[in-house]
Structure 1
Amino acid sequence: MARTPVPDLDWTDPECPVARTLDLVGDRWSLLVIRDAMDGARSFTEFQRRTGIARNILTDRLRKLVAHGLLAQRTAPSGRRREYVLTDAGRDLFPAIVTLRQWGERHAFAPGEAHSILVDQHDIPVPEITPTSADGSLLDADTTRVQKIR
């Protein structure tokens, strides 16, 4: 599997993939930009309208997401503007975004409170993402452990 080169950063925990991921996209604005790019946003104006983010912060987050290889800039079909599109690395965040969404559906709303849901192309709700082992059994924090590799 090809890996996207990651610029040298002052890593929070250099050997932990979770910490490195959070160093790259762990603030709410970065994840909301990625979420909106997955939902079709392409222009600076669209990202700002959808998130309500201040222009200077959005400029910074877009610059970082491009620098880290999660978004790419290209000329819009009109030829007049630049637009942002997800790279393969950015698209690979889809399961993480879905997992965060599903956690939010379960824990961030009061019963009966209005919220959005993710549906597939047939308008059927996306099934809950659950990690499973090679034999198909469900995995959780009690049935897994971190193993360091060198």
Structure 2
Amino acid sequence: MQRTNFAEMACSIARTLDVIGEPWSPLVLRDIWVGMNRFDQIQADLGISRKVLTERLGHLVEHGVLEKQAYDNRPRYEYVLTEKGRELVDILMVMAGWGDRWLAGEAGPPVLYRHHACGEIGRVDLRCSHCGEPMHADDVEVLPGPGAATQSASAG
């Protein structure tokens, strides 16, 4: 069965899922974010097949989320997050916060985030870029944007 092409939908959520929507991509991004930049490190940490990891890394490089950098004469490559990739990690931090709240259990969250600016352990908090107030799903009205296909385009 052929996968739906979300990239063609007039929805930013669908387009984002086209880049990171299968289960391995967010985990690959997480590993690279925490410093596992080489193929063998990522493969060993995730237990992912070499074939699938090669496909995922290629997809993320193709979409400008990762960049390959040679580190050996063979050449061998390590992967680094681009600006686009670093912004996707922000989404992963929000996902982790949801998982910490609803799925972590009695043991608590598996990782904590120390904020460089203040040195304290914190969590991601969504805020309005205009007024700075908290911004959650119940606090917004979804309106068609300039890129909407029609006035009744789905949110996202």
Higher RCO (CA 8 Å, separation ≥ 6 residues): 2
What's the offset of the Cα at 1:114? Answer: 6.2
2:145 is the alignment partner of 1:140:
no
Give the structure 1 partner of residue 93 of structure 2.
98
Deviation at 1:58, TM superposition (A): 0.5
Asked if 1 retains the 8 angstrom alpha-carbon contact of 2:9 and 2:15, the reply is: yes
Q: Distance between the aligned counterparts of 1:33 and 1:142, measured in 2?
A: 31
Query: Post-superposition shift, 1:13?
Result: 6.2
In structure 2, the partner of 1:56 is 51
How many percent identity over aligned positions? 33
Paired residues for 1:61-76 under 5 Å: 61-76=56-71
- Cα offset for 1:127? 3.2
Cα displacement (A) at 1:70? 0.6
Q: Which runs of 5+ in 1 are unaligned?
A: 1-8
What one-letter code is carried by the residue in structure 2 that aligns with 1:69? G
CA distance in 2, matches of 1:134, 1:52: 43
Q: RMSD across aligned C-alpha pairs, in angstroms?
A: 2.2
Q: What is the aligned partner in structure 1 of residue 113 from structure 2? A: 118
Of stretches 96-105 and 116-125 in structure 1, the one that deviates more from structure 2 is 116-125
1:133·1:139 contact (CA, 8 Å) conserved in 2? no
Q: Secondary structure at the match of 1:93?
A: helix
User: How many Å separate the matches in 2 of 1:12 and 1:85?
Assistant: 23
CA distance in 1, matches of 2:47, 2:99: 20
**CA pair 49-63 structure 1, distance change in 2 beyond 3 A:** same
Q: Distance in 2 between matches of 1:12 and 1:72?
A: 21
**TM-score normalised to structure 2 length:** 0.79
Check the 8 A contact 1:65/1:71 in 2, yes or no: yes
Q: Which moved more, 1:126-135 or 1:96-105?
A: 126-135
Q: How many aligned positions are there? A: 141
Q: Kindly provide the CA deviation profile for residues 8-30 of structure 1, in whole angstroms up to 9, marking residues without a partner as x.
A: x9226611101110111012210
